Amino acid sequence: MINFIILSRFILTIFCLIFSFYSIQYYDGSKYIFLIFNFSILILTFYLTSTNSSFFSFFLAFYMFMGFWFKYNFSLVFNNGYVFDSGLLNSSNIDNVLVISIYLFIVIIIASFLEKIFFKYEKFYISKKENLFIKFYLNNKIIFLFLFISLFLFVAFINFYFKIYVKGLIFDNNYNQILLNLLKWLLLFGFSTFSCFILNSNYLSNKNTLLIFFIVFFEIFISNTSMLSRSMLLFGLPFLYSSIFYASNHDNFYRKFLVILSMYICFVTLSIYLANELRANYIKEFKSSVKTEMLSKKKLTDESEDNLEKANRFNFQLNETGKGQVSAKRMTTFIIINRWTGIDSLINVSNSKNLGFDLFLNSFEEQKSKIGNTFYEKNFNLEYQKPSFSIKNIYVKGNTLPGIFSFIYYSGSILFLLTFSFSIFIIFSFVEKKIYKITNNNIFYVAFFSHIIVNRLFSFGYAPKDTYLFVTSLILSIIFIYFLESDRFEKIFKSLK
């Protein structure tokens, strides 16, 4: 399996190099800077995705590759140089942004080099120690799996039916906040944490691997669909990638991995299609409701006219220059290139004349709102391009996020950006090693933990002071997996006897 990964990385790098030389003809700036930009991000990706790198390194490389190399090069070739959400009509002549990116890539490569020296751990060592809860689960697997499937189906149904937590849509419902927060935590953290437990336990018993993976992917599919989220591609990735480190513990792993990969692709394809179809139908319905409400009014106010105008312009983040109906197919095609965060926001922020630590500190005062533009959209020329509208107690709003690197660059200081980037890499590499130790070497959970951290970093920038909610949820997840994986409780139980 290791040889397959090495070969895949090599082939991908060669392909990207060839594509980089092809896309250079569409770049209007310095060809040398453009080539250095491409070489450095590809070196970063190749180096950070080696099997002896941390999971944090791997997922950071993946997101940076998609947000910088993939989005920019494909925008040059297939979108006439226009980078969606960059705030510019054409952004091919952006030498200064590419130079900043190159510095960032070099710093991360250095941080990864140090991480492999000081925070390395043996990911291929899988603990076979069975504690009280693992034994109880293995002895009652059918009951546990039945209860798990029933619970996530029930929670997803409640979420979808009552519209409790839906991406891009806010339903003003007066439900109990404790129950709401519990439901959100289960959808985003709880079920995935338990999936890590049953996957790890299953590999210890070496039975029913395909069935367990089917259940895990089915849960991610159901939960994401209930939230109208297209993120199964991302949140299924840590389970898929971490499974390769169990190869030596499993019979016929290669054959089973191909089946697992096929299941993952099928679920991802169906998830994205359903989420896009449901989103498009909801928006069509809501826009129609706004127009109907307007026609029923005898006297129009400025506020209602503004709401109608924004409803007409709203297209769920499709290219604002596009025309026609927003179909699920067109939306799917669009997000493949444009829904990654990275160079787009760095272009936008770099072109601002208001950068400074005052702007950076003011961003922490942002409050979450049901409607209207975010701090980032208001301050970086995206206000008109990102309309939001409402109908009765429903608010349609898609927040544009800068990601952690562009957010830090609000300060206008490259030194601050590079120092912060180096620090978070070292910190989370250290934390990952600690998570590995306290979870009975549960590689699935370590991968899940590091991926959700990286995903949060690239989804950063909206109401940043509320990050404590994410941290609290993550801590609860760590406590939950520690409770399931630790042998401390078994020792206490035996001492009581």
Mean pLDDT of 429-450: 94
Taking the C-alpha atoms of residue 238 and residue 54, their distance in angstroms, rounded to an integer, is 12
Taking the C-alpha atoms of residue 320 and residue 318, their distance in angstroms, rounded to an integer, is 6
- Residue 452 structure tokens: 């959700």
Could you read off the pLDDT of 160-197 as tens digits, one per residue?
Answer: 999 899 988 888 878 888 999 999 999 999 999 999 99
Could you read off the pLDDT of 474-486 as tens digits, one per residue?
Answer: 999 999 999 998 8
pLDDT at 321 over 50: no
On average, the pLDDT of the chain sits at 88
- pLDDT score of 319: 43
What is the crossing angle of helices 253-296 and 209-226, to 10°? 10
pLDDT at 2 over 80: no
- Residue 158 structure tokens: 């409640």
**Which helix (H) or strand (E) covers residue 240, if one does?**
helix 237-242
Phi, psi torsion values for 370, nearest 5 degrees: -75, -25
Mean pLDDT of 80-104: 82
Could you read off the pLDDT of 382-434 as tens digits, one per residue?
Answer: 888 888 888 888 898 878 899 999 999 999 999 999 999 999 999 999 999 99
Percent of the chain exceeding pLDDT 90 equals: 60
Handedness of CA 80, 81, 87, 88 (dihedral sign): negative
- pLDDT score of 297: 73
pLDDT at 88 over 60: yes
- pLDDT score of 495: 57
Q: How many helices (H) and strands (E) does the chain have?
A: 23, 3
- pLDDT score of 50: 92
Taking the C-alpha atoms of residue 493 and residue 497, their distance in angstroms, rounded to an integer, is 7
Confidence category of residue 252, pLDDT binned at 50, 70, 90: confident
Taking the C-alpha atoms of residue 211 and residue 164, their distance in angstroms, rounded to an integer, is 30
List % helix, strand, coil for the chain (3-state, nearest 5).
70, 0, 25
**Which helix (H) or strand (E) covers residue 91, if one does?**
none
- pLDDT score of 225: 95
Whether the predicted model's global pTM rises above the 0.85 cut: yes
Name residue, tokens 């998830």. 271
Long-range pairs of 358-367 with CB within 8 A, sequence gap ≥ 24: 359/410, 359/411, 359/412, 360/408, 360/410, 360/411, 363/407, 363/410, 363/461, 363/464, 364/464, 364/465, 365/465, 366/462, 366/463, 366/464, 366/465, 367/463
Most confident of 251-265, 335-349, 446-460: 446-460
Alpha helices in 317-442 (DSSP H): 328-338, 343-350, 357-362, 375-379, 403-408, 414-438
Closest CA to 58 of 341, 450, 340: 450
- pLDDT score of 43: 97
Could you read off the pLDDT of 28-71 as tens digits, one per residue?
Answer: 889 999 999 999 999 999 999 998 899 999 999 999 999 999 99
Q: 91: which residues sit within 8 A by CB, 6+ positions away?
A: 75, 81, 82, 83, 97, 347
- Residue 390 structure tokens: 């409402």
Mean pLDDT of 227-231: 92
DSSP letter for each residue of 99-141:
HHHHHHHHHHHHHHHHHHHHS---TT-------HHHHHHHHTH
Confidence category of residue 315, pLDDT binned at 50, 70, 90: low
Half-sphere exposure of 352 (CA within 13 A, CB side): 25
Could you read off the pLDDT of 370-383 as tens digits, one per residue?
Answer: 888 999 999 998 88
- pLDDT score of 320: 42
Could you read off the pLDDT of 96-116 as tens digits, one per residue?
Answer: 999 999 999 999 999 999 999
Reduced to 3 states, what is the DSSP secondary structure of residue 323?
coil
With beta carbons less than 8 A apart as the criterion, state whether 316 and 286 touch.
Answer: no
